[in-house]
Amino acid sequence: MIRLYIGGAGSGQRELAEKETGRKPDIENFAILSKEILSKGGSPQEYARHLVQENPDAVICSDEIGCGIHPAEKSDRIWREETGRALCIIAAAAGTVTRVFCGIGKRIK
């Protein structure tokens, strides 16, 4: 089953994922990966669809980038929107989704 850990930057997603699963996450920060995909002209949503189909046991961590001040730069707004939509795809397919705050996980799915 896919496991998704999400929280603010530096909230301890990776550490909690390792503690709960006994292994390193397959993706340590999906938000950064999403930015790389966009910079190469790719689609984070398509990547997410492929990821959940091909890796049904993936452990995925990501920073939350959709909260806070609306980015001034258009490219940052696109990144934020695309990342959020891709994470929705991953969350829908995940067996568990855990929100991490100060290293403490709260299972939301």
Average pLDDT over residues 72-83: 91
Please measure the distance between the N-terminal and C-terminal CA atoms of the chain and give it in whole angstroms. 12
In tens, the pLDDT along 14-68 reads 999 999 999 999 999 999 999 999 999 999 999 999 999 999 999 999 999 877 7
> At residue 17, what is the residue type?
A
Nearest to 97 by CA among 21, 1, 16, 6: 6
pTM higher than 0.95: no
- For residue 68, the model assigns a pLDDT of 73
- CATH number of the domain residue 88 falls in: 3.40.50.300
In tens, the pLDDT along 55-67 reads 999 999 999 987 7
Q: Which domain holds residue 10?
A: 3-107
What's the domain count of the chain?
1
